[in-house]
């Protein structure tokens, strides 16, 4: 049996802290080893708890899962499919956005198709070209350094349109604890507190589809282990544009910090929750308006997509 980390063990093969079977994972922040069966049970319980305490799923929901084909979204679809019988009359559909990134999207698209076929889940695909008139590669010519923010704005819009076309009531994304903790730091570094507050998973304004992030408290490493143990692990290429991203620097700094001070990422999420609570109704939270061009909810005169479109012309 593979052992991913044996830190904290003085001698011999580490055993599960709960049942004494050989361990496959060490959770540093809890100083706990887990065996295969307990990794799977623990992950499914924690995701169920996140969904229930934050009331992410209601009876009758149709949940559109944003499936990029990468590991987080693969784990999300796999987990929701497994956990779904707990809710009455809830349906899943998968949606994949083809941004038009040559040499990258083909493989992840194939992986997404394979998974939905295996699980028997309806799969919708939408391309940037069909929606915005061009591929991401074309939009980014000469402004590669802005790749992730431009792609992020367009992807968000594409996901909402696709989820609405599929008749979904919720949009689920695979953001994990590492992603969410990185976002907290990045928003603080940029002094963008409105975005920090806006990032929260559930929207109650009723103006746009509710976004849910059931994996937001699961560390990236544990998602990888869960996929390997369930035999759905797929090694895929990394998006070629990530080398331009600030996130990459924050990610490296934060993993280093988490290693030296286990629990750092959980603490960042708790701080974010407190800021969200304090920010309600204060100068931090912005009131939502409707975009002058397209009517989408936004904080200014134009939404981010319409602002971006002006720069393409």
Q: Which residues would be at the binding site for Zn ion (CB under 5 A)?
A: 16, 18-19, 21, 35, 38, 291, 293-294, 296, 303, 306
**CB-wise, 46 or 247, nearer to Zn ion?**
46
Q: Which residues contact 264 (CB under 8 A, 6 or more apart)?
A: 181, 254, 257, 258
Q: Give 89 or 205: the residue with its C-beta nearer to Zn ion.
A: 205
Q: Considering the complex, what minimum distance in angstroms separates the CB of residue 134 from Zn ion? A: 17
Q: Measured from the CB atom, is 45 or 278 closer to Zn ion?
A: 45
Smallest distance from the beta carbon of 269 to Zn ion, in angstroms? Answer: 26
Give phi and psi for 141, each to the nearest 5: -55, 120
CB of 100 to Zn ion, least distance (A): 21
CB 6, min distance to Zn ion, A: 16
Shortest approach of Zn ion to residue 24 CB, angstroms?
Answer: 9
Complex with Zn ion: residue 276 or 293, whichever CB lies closer: 293
246 vs 306, beta carbon nearer Zn ion: 306
- Residue 183 CB, shortest distance to Zn ion, in Å, is 23
Q: At CB < 8 A and 24+ separation, what contacts does 36-40 make?
A: 36/1, 36/229, 39/222, 39/225, 39/226, 39/229, 40/226, 40/229, 40/230
Between 209 and 306, name the residue whose CB sits nearer to Zn ion.
306
User: Given CA atoms 4, 7, 10, 14 in this order, what sign does their dihedral have?
Assistant: negative
Which C-beta is closer to Zn ion: that of 21 or that of 286?
21
- Residue 19 C-beta: closest distance to Zn ion, Å: 3
**Smallest distance, Å, CB 114 to Zn ion?**
30
């Amino acid at each position: 049996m593979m052992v991913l980390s044996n830190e904290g063990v003085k001698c011999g093969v580490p055993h599960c802290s709960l049942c004494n079977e050989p361990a496959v994972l060490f959770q540093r922040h809890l100083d706990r080893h887990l065996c295969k069966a307990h990794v799977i049970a623990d992950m499914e319980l924690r995701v169920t708890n996140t969904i229930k305490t934050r009331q992410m799923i209601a009876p009758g929901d149709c949940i559109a899962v944003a499936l990029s084909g990468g590991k987080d979204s693969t784990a999300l679809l796999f987990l929701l499919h497994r956990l779904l019988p707990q809710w009455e009359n809830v349906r899943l559909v998968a949606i994949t956005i083809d941004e038009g990134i040559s040499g990258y999207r083909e493989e992840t698209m194939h992986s997404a198709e394979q998974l939905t076929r295996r699980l028997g889940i309806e799969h919708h695909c939408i391309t940037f070209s069909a929606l915005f008139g061009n591929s991401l590669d074309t939009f980014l010519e000469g402004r590669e350094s802005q790749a992730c923010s431009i792609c992020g704005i367009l992807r968000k819009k594409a996901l909402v349109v696709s989820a609405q076309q599929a008749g979904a009531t919720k949009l689920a994304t695979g953001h994990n604890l590492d992603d969410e903790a990185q976002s907290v730091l990045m928003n603080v570094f940029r002094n963008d507190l409105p975005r920090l507050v806006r990032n929260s998973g559930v929207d109650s304004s009723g103006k746009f589809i509710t976004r849910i992030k059931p994996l937001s408290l699961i560390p990236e490493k544990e998602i990888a282990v869960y996929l390997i143990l369930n035999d759905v692990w797929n090694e895929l290429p990394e998006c070629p544009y990530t080398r331009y991203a600030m996130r990459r620097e924050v990610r490296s700094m934060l993993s280093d910090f988490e290693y030296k001070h286990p629990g750092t990422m959980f603490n960042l999420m708790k701080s974010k929750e407190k800021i969200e609570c304090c920010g309600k109704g204060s100068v931090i939270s912005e009131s939502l308006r409707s975009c002058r061009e397209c009517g989408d909810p936004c904080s200014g005169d134009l939404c981010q997509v319409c602002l971006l479109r002006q720069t393409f012309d």
